[in-house]
Amino acid sequence: MPISVVFLGSPPFAVPSLQALAADPRFTIRLVVTQPDRPAGRGRKPRPPAVKEAAEALGLPVYQPETLRDPAAVDLLASPRADLFIVVAYGEILRQAVLDLPRHGCLNVHPSLLPRYRGSAPVQAAILNGDAETGVSIIKLIRRMDAGPILAQRRVPLDGTETAGSLSETLAAVAAAMLPDVAARWVAGEITPTPQDEAAATYTREITVADGRIDWSRQAAAIERLVRAMQPWPRAWTVLAGRRLAVLDCDISQGASTDPPGTINLGNRPPTVATGSTDLILLRVQPEGRREMAAEDWARGLRLPPGARFEPPEREGDDRGGA
């Protein structure tokens, strides 16, 4: 008899896992639980989560509660009498009343090599820290965040060109390749979970727009990693003459500058910016209120006095909207 599953997930990262389970005859997905439609885009029209769209394309029933803390929501989750709950970036920490519902507990997919990078931004953290590898962990959920015992892990090497978007796609595919076999073996009693090493645990927090603000006094390598880690959201950004400029792509120059950090050199093609170490080469940008463009095209229309600089973080509030 197929393993009956309730799947909980919301963003695009969770879609490949849902599709992999739906395509595997060892499983029957009784219910897909995802976040409610939320306003998005310039028109602020309600937009369904990616998992909802994928579930509907697969002909699966969808439930979108505001919260799983509501007793009525718990009752509805109990009704399928599922063998297993599988949680992939759902968007809410599950309470014990939910964790206790399925016969074989709740499994969770996390895009890091736990116990490293617990929390909501493990993909960005791996890029920001210049890690040589990251990976996917499948754990049994407990009440403490990302602290449950590990059922399986797979390592993924990093080459230093990944953005948060591209790395998320890679890890989502790895998770989808792992999940069906791990879930089936867990239900069959073939996996002995491994407790996490609490002494090695590190934590991440939710990324905000302010986290994308570039501090040009930092090393060029750190700024280049920030640009990649903030793609596709919230994007790395800086301020010139009171207007925001999103930096979408950049490279590290071989030559050091004696100019103060943030100084813009429009004489170089592409333009460069002085940092706390070597210059940073701007490749692609988006000025506030305009389209994305090559940095050369942006620089060609500028008229700046010699020594013009991007504003340092302390001179501009970090809570403004995106470019």
Against a cut of 0.75, is the pTM above it? yes
Is the model's pLDDT at 320 over the cut of 80?
no
Name the average pLDDT for the chain.
94
For the chain, which domains are there?
3-200 (3.40.50.170), 210-315 (3.10.25.10)
Q: Looking at the chain, how many residues does it have?
A: 323
- Do residues 132 and 111 lie in contact, with contact meaning Cβ atoms separated by under 8 Å? no
CA distance 31 to 73: 12
Q: Note the pLDDT of residue 315.
A: 46
pLDDT digits (tens, 9 = 90+) for 37-82: 998 877 788 999 999 999 999 999 999 999 999 999 999 999 999 9
DSSP secondary structure letters along 110-142 = ESS-TTTTBSS-HHHHHHHTT-SEEEEEEEE--
> pLDDT > 70: what percent of the chain?
97
**Phi-psi category of 130—alpha, beta or left, where left has phi over 0 and alpha has psi -120 to 50?**
left
**Alpha carbon distance 322, 244 (integer Å):** 8
pLDDT value for 301: 80
Q: What is the pLDDT of residues 160-170, one digit of tens each?
A: 999 999 999 99
Confidence check: pLDDT of 107 > 60: yes
Look at residues 31, 23, 184 and name the one whose alpha carbon lies nearest to residue 107.
184
| Residues 181-197, mean pLDDT to the nearest whole number | 98
Query: Over 70: is that where the pLDDT of 321 sits?
Result: no
Q: What is the pLDDT of residue 318?
A: 42
Residue 317 confidence (pLDDT): 44
**Contact (Cβ atoms closer than 8 angstroms) between residue 231 and residue 163:** yes
pLDDT value of residue 256: 77
Query: Mean pLDDT, to the nearest integer, of 150-179?
Result: 98
Q: Which of 7-16, 258-267, 308-317 has the lowest mean pLDDT?
A: 308-317
Contact yes or no for 62/35 (Cβ under 8 A):
no
Q: Tell me the per-residue pLDDT of 242-275, one tens digit each, with 9 for 90 and over.
A: 999 999 999 999 877 789 999 999 988 999 999 9
Of residues 108, 106, 83, 81, the one with CA closest to residue 96:
106
The tokens for 240 are 């010139």
- Nearest one of 20, 9, 236 to 111, comparing CA atoms: 9
What is the mean predicted confidence (pLDDT) over 299-321? 75
For residue 124, the model assigns a pLDDT of 98
Backbone angles phi, psi at 150, to 5 degrees: -90, 130
What the block records as the tokens of 105 is 């507990």
Residue 231 banded pLDDT, cuts 50, 70, 90: very high
Average pLDDT, stretch 287-304? 93
How many other β-carbons are positioned within 10 Å of the β-carbon of residue 23?
11
Write down the pLDDT at residue 316: 44
pLDDT > 60? residue 322:
no
